[in-house]
């Protein structure tokens, strides 16, 4: 990680998880890049809270002109992103595999099971959808860590493990737990569903987080103008990125990767004129 990424995660850990972090000195240019990174990932609030906590450190120096840019405009942007994400991903068809989604809905509809455990499962599934379609937005991972810290005493981890196995989501849940340990310095004991002590892919995945451009799978589609023979794609980089992610995470969740890719691809074809 470069210095911008290191300070980015330090400020999140300080602001969201109340850890003591030492921020490295940066130029105004790098501070501005960090601000855009926070806005892009929808975590400007915890980063701002981290800045407030670390601002009295000897080597901390945020240029005067950047202080105002970090306040209300950033918070408003973060809230707007949060509303859009909830509207898009907290919907009925959380998994594209019909068999697994039917099992998921049965679990979520079971009023006799623990509410906190169902919420944790839902968070893991929603984070999985982000991984498959976008990469890994940092905000969802922060929310997952915050929920675990707050609700862990009320979560039935034995039941959660049964659900993860039933939904074949165990491997990608392991990756999500390992990211909490690697990026936000969670203790392994805090994540009872984490079985693998060290995931070799975590550092690579974490590095890719900074390349996230907020481009969703739905941002590419095929079109054919009237009178033309050739079919065009609206966003070739988004399509190629989706293909790469599908290949990269195939071993983590193969039963969902295949249906997710073809559903996205089929949806993109709907824009072609008949």
Same domain, yes or no, for 203 and 228? no
Mean pLDDT of the chain: 76
Has residue 212 been placed in a domain? no
Boundary-marking domain end, from 59, 86, 113: 86
- Per-residue model confidence as pLDDT tens digits over 160-177: 999 999 999 888 898 889
Residue 141 near residue 176 (C-beta atoms within 8 A): yes
Number of domains in the chain: 3
Same domain, yes or no, for 194 and 225? no
Reduce the DSSP state of residue 223 to 3 states and report it.
strand
In terms of residue numbers, what domain contains 132? 88-207
Same domain, yes or no, for 54 and 101? no
Has residue 184 been placed in a domain? yes
Same domain, yes or no, for 71 and 182? no
Boundary-marking domain end, from 86, 103, 129: 86
Residue % of the chain over a pLDDT of 70: 64
Same domain, yes or no, for 229 and 253? yes
Cβ partners under 8 Å of residue 141, min gap 6: 127, 176, 179, 180, 183, 184
Boundary-marking domain end, from 188, 207, 226: 207
- Per-residue model confidence as pLDDT tens digits over 31-69: 999 998 888 888 989 999 999 999 999 888 888 888 877
Has residue 274 been placed in a domain? no
pTM of the entire predicted model: 0.77
């Amino acid at each position: 990680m470069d210095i911008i990424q290191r300070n980015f995660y330090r400020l999140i850990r300080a602001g969201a998880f109340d850890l003591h972090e030492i921020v490295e000195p940066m130029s105004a240019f790098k501070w501005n890049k960090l601000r855009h990174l926070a806005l892009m990932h929808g975590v400007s609030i915890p980063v701002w809270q981290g800045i407030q906590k670390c601002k009295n450190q000897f080597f901390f120096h945020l240029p005067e002109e950047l202080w105002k840019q970090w306040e209300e405009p950033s918070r408003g942007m973060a809230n707007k992103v949060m509303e859009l994400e909830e509207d898009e991903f907290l919907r009925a068809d959380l998994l594209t595999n019909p068999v697994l989604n039917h099992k998921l809905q049965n679990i979520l509809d079971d009023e006799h099971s623990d509410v906190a455990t169902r919420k944790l499962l839902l968070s893991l599934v929603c984070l999985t959808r982000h991984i498959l379609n976008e990469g890994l937005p940092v905000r969802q991972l922060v929310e997952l860590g915050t929920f675990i810290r707050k609700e862990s005493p009320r979560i039935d981890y034995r039941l959660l493990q049964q659900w993860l196995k039933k939904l074949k989501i165990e491997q990608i849940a392991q990756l999500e737990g390992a990211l909490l340990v690697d990026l936000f310095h969670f203790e392994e004991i805090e994540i009872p569903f984490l079985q693998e002590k060290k995931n070799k892919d975590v550092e690579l995945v974490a590095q890719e987080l900074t390349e996230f451009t907020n481009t969703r799978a739905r941002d590419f589609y095929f079109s054919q103008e009237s009178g033309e023979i050739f079919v065009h794609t609206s966003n070739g980089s988004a399509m190629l990125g989706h293909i790469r992610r599908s290949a990269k995470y195939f071993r983590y969740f193969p039963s969902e990767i295949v249906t997710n890719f073809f559903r996205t691809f089929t949806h993109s074809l709907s824009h072609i004129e008949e």
